Amino acid sequence: MKRGQAALEFLMTYGWAILVVLAAIAALAYFGVLSPDRFLPEKCTMPSGLACLDFKADNSTGITVIIQNSLGFDINTVTLRLDGCTTTAANASGPSSLTNGETGTYTFACATAQPSGKFRGGLNMSYVRQDTSLSHVKYGELILTIP
């Protein structure tokens, strides 16, 4: 009888302590202290051959991305789109052709102001190879902090 009582007292004592810790963690998660968005680094990734050199977000000008063509050939009819900028994908203003090694600055003027915090969107770049006239689409990702 004493073993059963000791086991029950042990479970009750430490059970309440574990319950209090779980409630504290739940409260922190509810109020956003443990939000994973706060810990995500800013990054811009594109597939090999296309380098995302720099990027920034500004509420007045929008989102600006600098892309370098490292594919080994010239590309024409370059269209860069950013999903997640507005309710529909936003086309960027920037150069429509990039020679090998050239960089282009593309600016996305989002239709609505983005809220402060982390922004995550897909970059879609379509282009036509100058030497073969074949069209291609490359997909990347952009994660940044909007002030």
> In the prediction, which pLDDT does 139 show?
95
Distance CA 142, CA 147 (A): 16
> In the prediction, which pLDDT does 140 show?
94
> In the prediction, which pLDDT does 87 show?
38
> In the prediction, which pLDDT does 111 show?
56
pLDDT exceeds 50 at position 102:
yes
> In the prediction, which pLDDT does 4 show?
85
Domain definitions of the chain by residue range? 2-34, 37-146
User: pLDDT for 132-147, tens place per residue?
Assistant: 999 999 999 998 887 7
Q: Residue 123 burial (CB < 10 Å; 0-12/13-18/19+)?
A: buried
> In the prediction, which pLDDT does 86 show?
58
Q: Which residue has the higher pLDDT, 125 or 62?
A: 125
The CATH code that applies to domain 37-146 is 2.60.40.1940
User: pLDDT for 56-100, tens place per residue?
Assistant: 888 777 888 999 999 999 999 898 888 877 534 456 778 888 999
Give all strands (DSSP E) within the chain, no chain letters: 43-45, 50-58, 62-69, 75-83, 90-91, 103-108, 117-129, 135-146
> Looking at residues 100-104, what average pLDDT do you find?
92
Structure token digits, residue 123: 């970059």
pLDDT exceeds 70 at position 7:
yes
What is the average pLDDT score of the chain? 85
